[in-house]
Amino acid sequence: MNLSDISTVKSILAKNGFTFKKSLGQNFLINPTVCPQMAEHSADLDTGVLEIGPGIGVLTSLLAQIAKKVVAIELDERLRPVLSQTLAEFDNTKVIFGDAMKLDLKQIIADEFADCDHVVVCANLPYYITSPIIMMLLESKLPIKSITVMVQKEAAERLCAKPGDKECGAISVAVSYYSDPELLFLVDRDSFLPAPNVDSAVIKLNVLPEPKVKVDDEQKFFKFIKACFAQRRKTLTNTVSSTLGIPKDKIISALEQCSLPPTVRAEQLPIETLAQLSDLLM
């Protein structure tokens, strides 16, 4: 069964009386070149793959052919009969129905992938919760090697931005704290049914064994980073002072200790310097 062929997709969905729910971010891939590329970038024969949002199983079935085991988490119960048909031939694949944001993924990984060399996440994410899912995967420190996901093009640019890029923000710093991000390739909006009104991109976050920098207090560091980027047009001194109520002279003195002028902006600074400032000020 070719699950990225538009007439096959339409016929499966019609047979099961399935209608798309925009609120669940249901845009299914119909471009036959995209899923094989995603699967090859993320998995090999020894890999356990956790997929979030299998839809009708187009990516799931390709992952099943190259990985050791695939566990897919799908929120929409209406896809149960569809997935039981489309994944019937794969005995290394399991679908768990539930909310990926609420399930205990650490436990699922421990229970399902004990015999796999390593575990990765691969998914065409529902766009309404792209950043929360990515941050949840990273913050919960799951034993995963990488996260290869399709996201909106603009989100991909923010998630993979480096210091000095205009898209660099709090989420870019948070992602780079836990991983080395790379933007793999762009995907045109016409690759989906129904076509969304934005283009997409596939990114890969190579999860680091330890966070990129050591900080005194992780929670305070993330609070500081949020404050640094809260008002993008302002200098770091002004935005941190107004967001966190820290006196300006204290911030200027911390900047001086890092050999930085009071006019510097957060997006110009590498994560190592932001960590140093956080330890001095928080």
Whichever of 55 and 181 has its CB closer to ligand SAM, that residue is 55
Please identify which residue in 12, 13, 18, 28 interacts with ligand SAM, judged by CB under 6 A.
28
Instruction: Decide if residue 75 touches ligand SAM (CB under 6 A).
Output: yes
**Cα Dmax for the chain:** 68
Considering only the stretches 18-26, 113-121, 220-228, 245-253, report the one whose residues sit in contact with ligand SAM under the rule CB under 6 A.
18-26
The reply to whether 59 sits near ligand SAM by the rule CB under 6 A is yes
Q: By CB under 6 A, is residue 157 in contact with ligand SAM?
A: no
- Considering the complex, state which of residue 47 and residue 130 has its C-beta at the smaller distance from ligand SAM: 130
Of the two residues 94 and 248, which places its CB atom closer to ligand SAM in the complex? 94
Tell me which amino acid residue 128 is.
Y
Radius of gyration of the CA atoms of the chain, in A: 21
Binder of ligand SAM out of 24, 66, 136, 230 (CB under 6 A):
24
Go through the chain and tell me how many residues it has: 282
Per-residue binder mask for ligand SAM (CB under 6 A), 86-125, x = binder: -------------xxx----------------------x-
Q: Which residues bind ligand SAM (CB under 6 A)?
A: 24-29, 52-55, 58-59, 73-76, 99-101, 124, 126
